[in-house]
Amino acid sequence: MSYRAPVSNQRLILDAVVGIHELDGGPEADMVDAVLEGAAALAEGEFAPLLRTGDTVGARWNNGAVTMPAGFREAWSSFVEGGWMSLAAPEEHGGQGLPFVLSAALMDNLNAANVGFALCPMLSMGAIEAIERHGSDDLKRDYLPKIVSGEWPATMNLTEPQAGSDVGALKTRAEPNNDGSWRIKGTKIFITYGEHDLSDQIVHMVLARTQGAPEGTRGISLFLVPKILPNGSANDLRCVSIEHKLGIHASPTCVMSYGDHDGAIGWLIGPEHGGMAAMFTMMNNARLNVGLQGVGIAERATQRAVAYATERKQGQRNRLPVPIAEHPDVRRMLLRMRALTMGARALAYYAFGQVDRAARGDAGAGLRAEVLTPLVKAWCTDIGIEVASLGIQVHGGMGYIEETGAAQHLRDARIASIYEGTNGIQAADLVGRKLGLDGGLAFDGLIADIEAETQDSRLIALTDAVEVAAATLRASPPDDRLAGSYPFLTMVSVMAAGWLLERMARSGGADDQTRAAASYFLASVVPEALGLGAAAESGAALLYAVPAEALA
């Protein structure tokens, strides 16, 4: 099944939800159209055809080198030559300075087309922002233009075997040289695109600990460590192996060894011990972008399921053979897939748009983006998994056969709820930090905006329930707050997505698909989320009634 970029839905969201034409110094309507159509052509023509070979052949490791499947290098060249890496990058470093939300539209398409491939540019985006905000002028001059162009893809090296969600436990060490550079030694795992043959140079962002640094996250520093040194020689780093994963087989997940010999040469990004701040610059973007993986995969799975269900004949209605899409429960699944996908897209683009407003000086939008980030990361990736799984179900037995393609979406989607901070960590962020941000006003402002706009009784009921749960959680000790964090996150996300869908359906640009999706979402998904209120407020005592071992 070929992929068709959802351009009209993207345009509607950019207009009715993001208000892209109201952005200070934002692009003209012509430019927005050109980007949407160009991104569609790139995703449909270059990335989508490589989805299955990316899965079946996948990235291959041999003696430190990683070979991408046939066609990937050429597609990457098209991407670079088309200037797509530079879309939202700053103009002073060779970027086009377009709104971040347009890169969201691009990544949405690339994720739908080939999420394992799209991870490569996604990681570069975070690196660009980290170097731009925290890097020295020399690093910016020497590295940014080529990362911005896409010629030198970048990576994020955070995780170590003992330091996953707990980044502060990392052990990689950095020692200073006399010339301002550092020598890095340590092993990093789960490094996405840590090695590949899409380019000769790869620029690694590596978290490490300097001598005498404080324990935990306060003692972490970020380094830029290139695969090839400025003098043209190979740096002391190596891809030791790649992982055998459930999905995203196109994406090489590398074990990276730094400094097997004298130490890998690197340069500080930001001040010593300033690694966490730089990392969060990368991560915040990456979290929104991972949310878009859920959106993109959901879109592709939905298109595939609709195509199958409108073709495959089975059973009868009124004594005539019909495609299975005509059976009520199959239709319910298709409509649910579409409604969840559209709701997730609206919520994600809305968050990207708030980041754009914040970049233009709107502090309130910045706070709103902070509140939305865990919702987008966690809920949109949960939606990706649910929609991909429904897609298999729609296909019946054929969905379980790998050649059909539906199963790959579930396998690919399953990682997104884990990396860049597990969804549980997102939920903890929501109830731990975001609920109290700006004295609680950041969160309450979202509620107030929804209450001021919605006219739907079911959404009003959910918003009321969210308010009650928020009040309970705020008044609760940390464990109780954490115990209810996940169901609370889902309620808040559904509330926000429902609000945006309702607005889209009422806007002048709404089409039938949008109205049908919004109707279903408000009639089914919103009431479901109401059922989560009890779990959100039920507290931690229940969870600790027996030791964990007793649950085996």
Is 22 catalytic? The answer is: no
Binding positions for a copy of itself, 180-199, rule CB under 8 A: 189-190
Question: Please, what is the minimum distance in Å from the beta carbon of residue 379 to a copy of itself?
Answer: 14
Binding positions for a copy of itself, 300-329, rule CB under 8 A: 302-303, 306-307, 309-310, 313-316, 323, 325-329
Binding positions for a copy of itself, 247-306, rule CB under 8 A: 247, 302-303, 306
Which of 146/481 has CB closer to a copy of itself? Answer: 481
Query: What's the rounded Cα separation, in Å, for the pair 9 and 16?
Result: 10
**42 near a copy of itself, judged by CB under 8 A:** no
**331 near a copy of itself, judged by CB under 8 A:** yes
Query: What's the rounded Cα separation, in Å, for the pair 474 and 242?
Result: 43
Among 102, 120, 268, 333, binds a copy of itself (CB under 8 A): 333
Which of 120/337 has CB closer to a copy of itself? Answer: 337
**343 near a copy of itself, judged by CB under 8 A:** no
**401 near a copy of itself, judged by CB under 8 A:** yes
Kindly determine how many residues on this chain lie close enough to bind a copy of itself according to the rule CB under 8 A.
98
Binding positions for a copy of itself, 132-151, rule CB under 8 A: none
Q: Which residues pair with 182 in a beta bridge?
A: 176, 266
Query: What's the rounded Cα separation, in Å, for the pair 134 and 346?
Result: 31
Q: Which residues pair with 206 in a beta bridge?
A: 157, 223
**Marked catalytic residue, from 195, 326, 386, 420:** 420
Instruction: Please enumerate in sequence order all residues whose Cβ is within 8 A of that of 229, keeping only pairs 6 or more positions apart, or say none.
Output: 235, 265
Binding positions for a copy of itself, 494-533, rule CB under 8 A: 512-513, 515-516, 519-520, 523-524, 527-533
Write the interaction track for a copy of itself spanning residues 198-227; mark x where CB under 8 A is met and - where it is not. Answer: ------------------------------
Write the interaction track for a copy of itself spanning residues 410-449; mark x where CB under 8 A is met and - where it is not. Answer: xx--xx-xxx--xxx--xx---------------------
Structure tokens at 441: 């006003």
318 to 127, 308, 322, 325, 326: CA distances (angstroms): 59, 21, 9, 15, 11
Binding positions for a copy of itself, 462-501, rule CB under 8 A: 479, 482-483, 485-487
**58 near a copy of itself, judged by CB under 8 A:** no
CB-CB neighbours of 82 under 10 Å? 16
Q: What angle do CA 372, 495, 279 make, to 5 degrees?
A: 15
Question: Please, what is the minimum distance in Å from the beta carbon of residue 42 to a copy of itself?
Answer: 20
Among 29, 34, 65, 246, binds a copy of itself (CB under 8 A): 246
Q: What angle do CA 189, 230, 274 make, to 5 degrees?
A: 50
Which of 278/305 has CB closer to a copy of itself? Answer: 305
Binding window for a copy of itself (CB under 8 A); candidates: 71-79, 119-127, 164-172, 288-296: 164-172
Closest CA to 470 of 441, 449, 497: 441
152 to 80, 124, 220: CA distances (angstroms): 10, 9, 25
Closest CA to 122 of 288, 321, 314, 308: 288
Closest CA to 15 of 427, 507, 516, 546: 507
Structure tokens at 18: 């993001």
Q: Determine contact, residues 270/144, Cβ cutoff 8 Å.
A: no
Which of 147/394 has CB closer to a copy of itself? Answer: 394
Q: How many CA atoms lie within 13 A of 166 on its CB side?
A: 7
Question: Please, what is the minimum distance in Å from the beta carbon of residue 521 to a copy of itself?
Answer: 11
Name the residues annotated as catalytic. Answer: 420
